[in-house]
Chains A and B, each alone.
Chain A
Amino acid sequence: MSRLSQVFADLQSGKRKALIPYVVAGDPSPEGTVSLLHSLVDAGADIVELGVPFSDPMSEGAVIQKGHERALANGMSLQRVLGMVAEFRKDNDRTPIVMMGYANPIERFGYETFAAASADVGVDGLITVDLPPEEVDAIDGALKAVGLDNIFLISPTTPEPRVQKIVERARGFIYYVAVRGVTGSGQLDTDEVARSVSLIREKTQLPIAVGFGIKDAASASAVAASADAVVVGSALIAEMEQKAHSAESLEEIQIHGAAVQLLQSIRAGVDSSPS
């Protein structure tokens, strides 16, 4: 059983919902990323989503864009992101890691080379924002061949027949984008989320994660009532950014602490969800 299936199976038997933090690899610093991932797991993360920095992150709001810019300024590359996963796996062989990024760095790396290297270091799944089902064939074959899950997005604008097409191809879990917009934007409509999640659930057995627009314990709790997993990204990065600007010469662990604290409170929100 894959790490992802194992985690969702365990959560289901314990009637808990998964919490998935997103951070950008190499932000705030490449040296600190692996320890940040461990801290997030200690704070209650069930799965970790690791952003692969790209110069043109078209689906990201301002907060995550800046994370990508900082990471690139820190000299990050896809090769180094893979190195971080290998490093993380030395101390954690249980928590799934899903990489999230854009097609070009992966295409440049080579789809098959990337899939083999990812499987080798212990990546579990991949979300490529700009590879909808129409464009995914090349990489999907490569990922399948090494047992990696390709995770698809479904959005509020996805028509029902298309939802069917997507779930038929999906592996690992479904990622439902809760708002029309970029990451960290928009007003979350939890009723709409619940309706869409139950629609998707009619068509697939796969777990359904919900992300975009979840920023605190209350919104996480509301979403966890219908979803199997809650993704939180911009809020964590904004928290670290604010901390970094709050005082001179902070230790990086203090900056991480801001994200850890927020994640703990979101964990409590998810666990207190009425479902």
Chain B
Amino acid sequence: MTIEVTPELFASVPDQNGRFGRFGGKFVAETLMSALADLEQLYARLEDDAVFQREFDEDLAHYVGRPSPLYEASRLSDAIGGARILLKREDLNHTGAHKVNNTIGQALLAKYMGKKRVIAETGAGQHGVASATVAARLGLECHVFMGEEDIRRQALNVYRMKLLGARVVSVTSGSRTLKDAMNEAMRDWVTNVDDTFYIIGTVAGPHPYPMLVRDFQSVIGREARAQSLAQCGKLPDALVACVGGGSNAIGLFHPFLKDEGVAMYGVEAGGKGLETGEHAAPLSVGSPGVLHGNRTYLMQDDDGQILETHSVSAGLDYPGVGPEHAWLKDIGRVQYVAANDDEALAAFHRLTRIEGIMPALETAHAMAHTEKLAASMSPEQHIVVNLSGRGDKDILTVAALDGIEV
């Protein structure tokens, strides 16, 4: 790529067609085009609307509990040697993950549009829980689409959603995971487009979703930037976040993109190893294509059929990735790497035992890469990791993998 990377470049995407370079766009059926146009217009109006922004900020402060701390994991740093490791504690948010930042924002949009019904797709269940939570708070009807396979491995979150009053719809088509849940949510939306708001959980989907989810999640990076300056006296030397669809990663990265000295690493799910084909790492080994409303890197076969993915973490088990990540890869601003299931599991245990913080399995992928990275850096340097979610939901999975019956 011969694009000159300037600070202005990052503010220029997406363009008015929702493009991040050759990625993004609006690849959806005609029936949804006017709903997307309505959303785009509303968001263009509210983006700089003081009343809307104040409402959003107040919800983040008093309902979510922001700002989330930037915690220095000194014992982990000491154990590894090398760079200081600081954790952006999104796991301490209400509902236990970064997902709620976005659902608060989108639920406000639904309210402004007068929609009475919201739908969401979910993989690990965190976005489903965050959607069910805001729906309960606003008195909206909520339907969450979830793959049959994920319902099985995330039973606790399924019950949480039901307690919150949401209807969890089991998706039995295709691979029965996040990708199929998103297909089904799109099908519901196209059927009920007049009264339904689709709360997409990640920075994927058709324009304007990748943009507005990024904007809502960017609070993570804005806080981390200020906290890093206050606590360490300088910007971080590196940022690390896990990437499924990529919302927690873009939320952390985006406010730092123009800071040249800050290296960034997005960690995909390496599954059983990139060489086995059983993984969920489209940026590492995929190719560009069109899925779920946007052009991005995908895991696909030679005929353009989307491949089934594998990851120990349901939230990363997705064959695509947000289009802005695809673009950031192409221009070389962010490096995308992968961590395997067993590396993530080891990192899960290490953080739990050394710091008393149990990360989500998704987040554990970011920790696995952080350990390697920190070891290669000096003690004067520091890394900020997005600790995107807490691991309570995963303890049964971890127990099963460790061969323990709970």
Instruction: Count contacts on A: residues with CB < 8 A to the other chain.
Output: 44
Return the CB mask of A67-89 against B: 1 if under 8 Å, else 0: 00100100001110000000000
Chain B 186-219 residues near chain A, CB threshold 8 A: 186-187, 190-194
- Chain A neighbourhood of B289, CB < 8 A: 104, 107-108
- Confirm or deny: A55 has a beta carbon within 8 angstroms of a beta carbon on chain B: yes
- Confirm or deny: B173 has a beta carbon within 8 angstroms of a beta carbon on chain A: yes
Smallest beta-carbon distance B198→chain A, Å? 12
- Confirm or deny: A181 has a beta carbon within 8 angstroms of a beta carbon on chain B: yes
A107 to B30, CA, bound (A): 19
- Confirm or deny: A252 has a beta carbon within 8 angstroms of a beta carbon on chain B: no
Smallest beta-carbon distance B398→chain A, Å? 31
- Confirm or deny: A182 has a beta carbon within 8 angstroms of a beta carbon on chain B: yes
Known: A129-B29, A135-B27. A78 touches B186 (CB 8 A): no
Most chain A CB atoms below 10 A, which of B17, B25, B194, B292 = B25
Q: How large is the interface on B (under 10, 10 to 19, 20 to 34, 35 or more residues)?
A: 35 or more
Interface-facing stretch out of A8-16, A57-65, A203-211: A57-65
- Chain B neighbourhood of A147, CB < 8 A: none
Smallest beta-carbon distance A158→chain B, Å? 6
Known: A56-B291, A69-B173, A180-B190. A108 touches B30 (CB 8 A): no
Interface-facing stretch out of A34-42, A148-156, A217-225, A236-244: A148-156
- Confirm or deny: B34 has a beta carbon within 8 angstroms of a beta carbon on chain A: yes
- Chain B neighbourhood of A182, CB < 8 A: 187, 190-191
- Confirm or deny: B228 has a beta carbon within 8 angstroms of a beta carbon on chain A: no
- Chain A neighbourhood of B27, CB < 8 A: 103, 130-132, 135
- Chain A neighbourhood of B28, CB < 8 A: 58, 130, 132
A56→B174 contact, CB < 8 A: yes
Most chain A CB atoms below 10 A, which of B17, B187, B193, B298 = B187
- Confirm or deny: A173 has a beta carbon within 8 angstroms of a beta carbon on chain B: no
B173→A58 contact, CB < 8 A: no
- Confirm or deny: B81 has a beta carbon within 8 angstroms of a beta carbon on chain A: no
Interface-facing stretch out of B49-57, B110-118, B301-309, B372-380: B301-309
A182 to B29, CA, bound (A): 10
- Confirm or deny: B179 has a beta carbon within 8 angstroms of a beta carbon on chain A: yes
Most chain B CB atoms below 10 A, which of A59, A154, A156 = A59
Most chain B CB atoms below 10 A, which of A152, A155, A186 = A155
- Chain B neighbourhood of A65, CB < 8 A: 173
B304→A135 contact, CB < 8 A: no
Residue from B29, B174, B192, B193 within 8 A of A153 (CB atoms): B29
- Chain A neighbourhood of B186, CB < 8 A: 58
B290→A180 contact, CB < 8 A: no
A68 to B292, CA, bound (A): 17
- Confirm or deny: A246 has a beta carbon within 8 angstroms of a beta carbon on chain B: no
- Confirm or deny: A177 has a beta carbon within 8 angstroms of a beta carbon on chain B: yes
- Confirm or deny: A185 has a beta carbon within 8 angstroms of a beta carbon on chain B: yes
Residue from A55, A154, A155, A177 within 8 A of B305 (CB atoms): A55
Most chain A CB atoms below 10 A, which of B34, B174, B190, B191 = B190
- Chain B neighbourhood of A249, CB < 8 A: none
- Confirm or deny: B352 has a beta carbon within 8 angstroms of a beta carbon on chain A: no
Return the CB mask of A164-180 against B: 1 if under 8 Å, else 0: 00100000000001001
Smallest beta-carbon distance A255→chain B, Å? 22
User: Can you name the residue of chain B whose Cβ is closest to the Cβ of A186?
Assistant: B191
- Chain A neighbourhood of B29, CB < 8 A: 58-59, 129-130, 132, 153, 155, 177
A157→B35 contact, CB < 8 A: yes
- Confirm or deny: B31 has a beta carbon within 8 angstroms of a beta carbon on chain A: yes
A77→B190 contact, CB < 8 A: no
B179→A56 contact, CB < 8 A: yes
B174→A55 contact, CB < 8 A: yes
- Chain B neighbourhood of A186, CB < 8 A: 191
- Chain B neighbourhood of A177, CB < 8 A: 29-31
B174→A107 contact, CB < 8 A: no
A182 to B292, CA, bound (A): 15
> Which B residues contact A (CB, under 8 angstroms)?
17, 25-35, 173-174, 179-180, 183, 186-187, 190-194, 289-293, 298, 300, 302-306
Given A104-B306, A132-B30, A181-B31, 16 other A-B residues pairs in contact with their CB atoms under 8 A: A56-B291, A59-B187, A59-B190, A61-B187, A78-B303, A103-B290, A104-B304, A105-B304, A108-B303, A130-B29, A135-B26, A152-B30, A155-B29, A157-B34, A180-B191, A180-B194
- 8 nearest CB pairs, A to B: A108-B304, A105-B304, A181-B191, A155-B31, A77-B303, A153-B30, A55-B305, A103-B290
> Which A residues contact B (CB, under 8 angstroms)?
54-59, 61-62, 65, 69, 72, 77-79, 102-109, 129-132, 134-135, 152-159, 162, 166, 177, 180-182, 185-186
Could you name 27 residue pairs across A and B whose Cβ atoms are closer than 8 Å? A54-B305, A56-B174, A61-B187, A62-B173, A69-B174, A72-B305, A104-B300, A104-B305, A109-B303, A129-B29, A130-B29, A130-B293, A131-B27, A132-B26, A132-B33, A134-B33, A135-B26, A153-B29, A153-B30, A154-B30, A155-B30, A155-B31, A157-B30, A180-B193, A180-B194, A181-B187, A182-B187
